[in-house]
Amino acid sequence: MRTYIEDLNGGKPKPITPEGIEADTASPDGKYLVGSTASGSLSFYALDGSAPRPVPGSRKGCGSIRWSADGGSLLIDCRGVPAEIYKVSLSSGTSTLVRELMPADSAGVNAIYNVVISPDEKSYAYGYIRRLETLYVVEGLR
């Protein structure tokens, strides 16, 4: 896995991230992508090829969802059950819990993934994995 950039008019793809790293959340100015690092935190990967920079206030094991409408914050998804969505201020590094996601019927839910949030941050969607089993009790067998 790796993220590349390629000129639509031709040329070879140019790597943006190190091998094994995917970045897919574009900054509003189009100069950076946000993705995880090998250690599990988040970094900015510049499209001009300059060195990656850590996202202030990012948490290990969390993924980026989208930039805020004003471009001053990043919404991140800390995967778990329930999933915790934080808004991280890029100027101060402070993070604020804005939402916990869990289906109304949480029986058997063991993963929440693919969180998307609308630009106005009022609507969201996500997927989840539910695992249910049936237990049979048999008595009197010999």
Domain ranges of the chain: 4-130
User: What is the DSSP secondary structure assignment for residue 135, as one 8-state letter?
Assistant: -
Could you tell me the pTM of the whole model? Answer: 0.83
Give the per-residue pLDDT at 77.
Answer: 93
HEC assignment per residue over 72-119: CEEEEEECCCCEEEEEEECCCCCEEEEEEECCCCCCCEEEEEEEEECC
The CATH architecture annotation of domain 4-130 reads 6 Propeller (2.120)
**Sites in the chain below the pLDDT cut of 70:** none
Tens digit of pLDDT for each residue in 8-26? Answer: 898 899 999 999 998 989 9
